[in-house]
Structure 1
């Protein structure tokens, strides 16, 4: 699948450009694109549209689009907002099929502007014209000089073509990464600020950039993730050739999903769904603009290469220890050097007698610069050494910095292993950067980048494996009226889905309750059953330790009386076998209008909302995916077994999660949400039981 629209591709690589609202003043919106087109060497035809001038910035001017000698590939609209719709019609009449609308006064201004924007998009689609914007800062291609953009940044920070694309909904968030990358000497090919995303979304523009085979890193700033299917395709296309996609998603999406009556709907936020979507498609999520660009040098040097163990090398013992401490904070384990590596190092580094990582070159590096390259060579073949941090805390007269940089560059070429250098001195960083080596001012940034690239590689591998295994899930329509099923109805649905359910009976009389106790006892739980009271414990409607006929009779009558006092309908009283296991889990389903069926799995019990130790997966997924997610929870060490306890049966949890996801996805909008809490799991191999559940369904779907 490649839904790439050639009309958008034409904006990225136009052969001819018209600027409507062109002006001689390069500091105005209608003047700056013309200035950039000339300054940055655009070789195509440029047509300023200005009826009052014969030339604009050295280009022959035209009174209107109708007067042009050809239909340009793209028109830049730099006119007042109330003129845009008229100019759009002129574009269509002249055969222009692509436009960058820089004009403001649309969705960003409020309800009236949003209505104008909707009318503009409706007409553009009817006319067959694709729009970037409105309120767009524009598009820049620094390979061809097609800079249809009015940012001042390109005047301040000279561009250079390179294998990076920045696609952003925000103008400022497009040029901040650009400036940071250029400061590091990294070239950027595309800088796109899409504005209101009224027609072409940032996701579709990301796909357009990803289609360029020279792009190796795609950086995205997303405010509203409105087209996840297009972004998934962009990520797939990038992964297919080893390119990395890093996204900064701000805020929380407000796409109309309603919080379900269950706890699951409350705790599985839109942001958690975004995390799950990014992970599913191998997209690394950055926390801020610095995080968006921090690892770009490493991506370009070593690509998406999975690595697990780190070697730290420095000529300062203190720096080595600090780096090791920082690595532990990131969860990056140090390599245990092989005996043959230790022996090789002992012949290079004075006094090196035992297996040490961090590797301390000592002050001897000052008198013997060759130690640096020889140490790298000795480490290169170590079976655990698959990524490297080289600390250069101080260097100056007497240090062969150029030789160190050359040795490191050679090491990178020969091994391809991720390697980062940290050096506080600008002159040292310049030398390594000139040799093509990723270099950072602080060891924290260096380790953050190493951690990101190595983990991102695993993320991408998982996404590719899922692509080969599973068809993507489908978005769910937003439900209308909903109803909450009783516990009895909910458990019956779960059992039909293949989830193991505790033995229970729905009783409508005290006699039936006593009979159920005799069948399921001697220890049972008695609970009121009403769809209007999904969380019974909050109303004192759950009775434990029911071990006699008298206990059951008393609890039955109490359930009836309390539900009556609440004014709720009573379906009956549930008598369930009391089961004991090793750990309680919470599982839930949320149907999302953008991302489809989402399944939550995590620590259960009454504190699930407070502790929020859970993971989210998007359907479809495998049992192994669930187990991998559980291994990342805070409770993971407990699940593995501590203080002589056996490991918990995670397989029953994984099977239940997969069953819930498949059940809900097959029914689409009919099942709005599911809250299963708790699922009690026993020791490994013993299974488990769903003890309580709430299913919310669509009234329309049910009907």
Structure 2
């Protein structure tokens, strides 16, 4: 992408003052060693900041690869036309006053982008802080941060829609001594999107960690390509998507004129493509050192080692809160540790070296050697709560670095003292000031690795039709099917459905009871009345001919009173299980077919204990996501109850996703509530469902 690797740059609106938007890029191009041609455009000066100036783009000796536009918003469209006339194909529009300002600004922005596309010019922005490549010195950016925090090239890229959210991670990484190659703030994302910029950064083979800040995800298909490209070479993608809360979503929209995405779908999209979602800027950068040290490596069991028993206990507590299991060391490992450590030390996990480390520095390395071969030990946290005179800190750091290189397993150190951290950092060991940050990094990198592995497997199995749809506008009309029609379609899709009959007379209803009994459920069947229980149209536990006949007649009378059409009365076998689940399908124009699975009942929307998966996904994907629900311990069986048959839920979810994705132009939504699941191995049944069919036209 020319924006990242320009050979020549024009700055329209160039100024001598390096502290103005039109002056800062020129200062950076000179300061950071850009070796290409620089063309300031300023009709009132012969030179600007030591560069020869030109009156207009037309006067340039060549067509520059990129133009930086730093003029008032009212003049941007005119400059755009000059760019096109001179053969400039890429522009960074720093000017504001567009989509971020409201409806009039949105209109101006739309007109600008429409004309740019017609002229063949790609735009970053408007309202963009700009692009920076610290390898080449092509810093087309006006942030003050690069004057305050000296840059250094490195294996990290920061791609952001926000200026502040691009330089905050940059500053935090540089404070830790980590180099950053690309820092991009794309502003309103009106043309070249944050996803396209991420794709360009992911193509750089030396970028090992890609950090994203996203306010609106308008082209997920492109971001999916970027994630796949990163996965293919072992690079990690971490994203901070703002707008989780209602207030946050509103603020994001006012900030960049962004379109607010359904946050649950964003979560599902990130998980499906192996992108780790950070909660805040700290979470965006916290694990970068560990990614760079060990890459994406899946691990489940933790060993804690320290010369403080208190640190071991605190780490064990924090690990449990994060869902990180402590390893049960093999008997051979415990025996080896006992031979190394004094009798009062703890040869179990957490491993407590005690203050004996002060008098015998070799104990540290020998303990690591004993732990190295334990098959239960997947990852390590080494707590160094205090060290200094008398402690062989350089030796401890060297031993840890050798251990990390030899085993390849994730290893982190926590140390509150800056001098101690500096020693481990110099040895190439990821080090943190606090145990919580160290454990959070381990949790993130190892779980992220599992996400990436699952995404790679799905990619290998996916058909071309499974790709994320291109963004577009849907105009649709929908028709709600009756319960009988909906259940018939679900049965054809492979979802287990409760045995039932659609009856058109009391005699047929009685006959159905005789076939399905001894007790049945009687329900009115009308597409116009999807929520039957609210109108008293569901009769449970009908056990006799008289009760069934009476329920049938009551259904007919009540529907007639409501003035709605009646397609018949549904008589269904009364099935009982251990747990009710709700499953739903949504066809999203950006993300494709999404399937929701949650605890059943009427409190689904209030409790918000649900998971969303994007087609294609596997039964194991469903089971893994169900394990994250708050009700997961209940589903596993408590107080003598057997575990719930989650396999039937997983099979139903996969069947729904496959069925709906194959009919993306026909099925608008599916609401299956409840799916009654029995104990493990007993199966389950879809009891009620509503399907909306659509006639759509994609534009």
- CA–CA distance in structure 1, aligned partners of residues 492 and 311 of structure 2: 60
Equivalent pair of 2:665/2:695 in contact (CA under 8 Å): no
Given the alignment of the two structures, is residue 430 of structure 1 paired with residue 422 of structure 2, yes or no? yes
- CA–CA distance in structure 2, aligned partners of residues 373 and 142 of structure 1: 39
How far is 1:399 from its partner? 1.6
- Aligned partner of 1:98 in structure 2 is 90
Mark the CA change 1:352 to 1:337 in structure 2 (over 3 Å): closer, same or farther: farther
- CA–CA distance in structure 2, aligned partners of residues 607 and 253 of structure 1: 20
User: Which one of the candidate residues 478, 485, 496 is aligned to 1:482?
Assistant: 478
User: Which one of the candidate residues 54, 58, 79 is aligned to 1:66?
Assistant: 58
- Aligned partner of 1:597 in structure 2 is 593
User: Which one of the candidate residues 542, 545, 555 is aligned to 2:541?
Assistant: 545
- CA–CA distance in structure 2, aligned partners of residues 591 and 459 of structure 1: 23
Given the alignment of the two structures, is residue 212 of structure 1 paired with residue 212 of structure 2, yes or no? no
1:660-671 aligned at under 5 Å gives the runs 660-671=656-667
- CA–CA distance in structure 1, aligned partners of residues 58 and 386 of structure 2: 65
How far is 1:354 from its partner? 6.5
Equivalent pair of 2:221/2:468 in contact (CA under 8 Å): no
How far is 1:642 from its partner? 4.0
Mark the CA change 1:510 to 1:700 in structure 2 (over 3 Å): closer, same or farther: farther
Greater displacement, 619-628 / 314-323: 619-628
Equivalent pair of 2:595/2:612 in contact (CA under 8 Å): yes
- Aligned partner of 2:669 in structure 1 is 673
- Aligned partner of 1:562 in structure 2 is 558
Mark the CA change 1:336 to 1:247 in structure 2 (over 3 Å): closer, same or farther: same
- Aligned partner of 1:615 in structure 2 is 611
- Aligned partner of 2:157 in structure 1 is 165
Given the alignment of the two structures, is residue 195 of structure 1 paired with residue 176 of structure 2, yes or no? no
Mark the CA change 1:239 to 1:253 in structure 2 (over 3 Å): closer, same or farther: farther
Given the alignment of the two structures, is residue 377 of structure 1 paired with residue 369 of structure 2, yes or no? yes
Equivalent pair of 2:338/2:347 in contact (CA under 8 Å): no
Matched residue count: 679
- CA–CA distance in structure 1, aligned partners of residues 641 and 517 of structure 2: 27
Given the alignment of the two structures, is residue 299 of structure 1 paired with residue 295 of structure 2, yes or no? no
User: Which one of the candidate residues 219, 225, 239 is aligned to 2:231?
Assistant: 239
1:87-166 aligned at under 5 Å gives the runs 87-166=79-158
Q: TM-score, normalised by structure 2?
A: 0.94
- CA–CA distance in structure 2, aligned partners of residues 43 and 131 of structure 1: 23
- CA–CA distance in structure 1, aligned partners of residues 375 and 494 of structure 2: 44
Task: Extract unaligned runs of 5+ from structure 2.
Answer: 247-260
- Aligned partner of 1:451 in structure 2 is 443
Q: TM-score, normalised by structure 1?
A: 0.94
Indicate the SS of the match to 1:347: helix
Task: Extract unaligned runs of 5+ from structure 1.
Answer: 1-8, 255-268
Mark the CA change 1:354 to 1:39 in structure 2 (over 3 Å): closer, same or farther: closer
Given the alignment of the two structures, is residue 577 of structure 1 paired with residue 586 of structure 2, yes or no? no
Equivalent pair of 1:477/1:669 in contact (CA under 8 Å): no
Q: Deviations over 1:162-193 (max 9, x none)?
A: 10000000001000101111111111110000
Mark the CA change 1:377 to 1:352 in structure 2 (over 3 Å): closer, same or farther: farther
- Aligned partner of 1:652 in structure 2 is 648
- Aligned partner of 2:393 in structure 1 is 401
How far is 1:477 from its partner? 5.8
Q: Deviations over 1:60-81 (max 9, x none)?
A: 0011111111111111000111
Mark the CA change 1:19 to 1:586 in structure 2 (over 3 Å): closer, same or farther: same
- CA–CA distance in structure 2, aligned partners of residues 562 and 178 of structure 1: 66
- CA–CA distance in structure 1, aligned partners of residues 149 and 404 of structure 2: 29
- CA–CA distance in structure 2, aligned partners of residues 435 and 520 of structure 1: 73
Indicate the SS of the match to 1:148: strand
- CA–CA distance in structure 2, aligned partners of residues 672 and 523 of structure 1: 34
How far is 1:591 from its partner? 0.6
- CA–CA distance in structure 1, aligned partners of residues 682 and 547 of structure 2: 30
Equivalent pair of 1:253/1:270 in contact (CA under 8 Å): no
Equivalent pair of 1:345/1:352 in contact (CA under 8 Å): no
- Aligned partner of 2:249 in structure 1 is none
- Aligned partner of 1:262 in structure 2 is none
Greater displacement, 526-535 / 71-80: 526-535
Indicate the SS of the match to 1:413: helix
Mark the CA change 1:231 to 1:42 in structure 2 (over 3 Å): closer, same or farther: same
Divergent runs of 4+, >6 A: none
- Aligned partner of 1:328 in structure 2 is 320
- Aligned partner of 1:308 in structure 2 is 300
